Amino acid sequence: MSETQLNTLKPAAGSHPARRRVGRGIGSGFGKTAGRGHKGQKSRTGGFHKVGFEGGQMPLQRRLPKRGFTAMNQHLSAEVRLSDLERLPVDQVDVQVLKQAGVIGQAVRYVKVIKSGELSRKVVLSGISATAGARSAIEAAGGSLA
């Protein structure tokens, strides 16, 4: 059994096939046109075009209309209904309380209360804005916005 030395290491047989040498005569099987076929842009040296090129025809990505946009701050703000505030078990409400209750998402930073539903109990909001109708409904129920 012979020990393998670092200076005798070789790749496994067949793992590195020989490089294809094109344009080296008829006997190689890749002579004359070197496997590029006859004529045309792809047979020429440097004859390549960008992805999506359609031979000068207006490419698909330019034929279709531009559509849609997702704002980066889309998920930073949220709206909360008066009926959502009614269901909360606490009277002091801020953004963190709404997140813990699952009313708003975890990424939300700005919350606005809208007048939708009924509010029959006192609720004190802090760090939360409200529409004019929601503000009057909250104050009518004895609550306030801090």
Tell me the per-residue pLDDT of 82-125, one tens digit each, with 9 for 90 and over: 999 999 999 999 999 999 999 999 989 999 999 999 999 999 99
Cα angle 82, 83, 88 (rounded to 5 degrees) comes to 95
| Cβ(37)–Cβ(43) below 8 Å | yes
Cα–Cα dist 120/44, whole Å: 80
Indicate where the chain has its CATH 3.100.10.10 domain(s).
Answer: 77-145
Location of structure tokens 């209904």:
81
Q: How far is residue 90 CA from its own chain's centroid?
A: 36
Query: What's residue 70's pLDDT?
Result: 81
Q: Is the pLDDT confidence value at 1 over 70?
A: no
42-46-52 Cα angle (round to 5)? 60
77-145: CATH number:
3.100.10.10
Strands 124-125 and 92-93: parallel
- Which residue bears the tokens 């006997």? 27
pLDDT value of position 146: 80
pTM exceeds cut of 0.75: no
Q: What are phi and psi of 112, to 5 degrees?
A: -130, 135
Looking at the chain, the whole-number percentage of residues with pLDDT higher than 90 is: 77
Q: How confident is the model at residue 137 (pLDDT cuts 50, 70, 90)?
A: very high
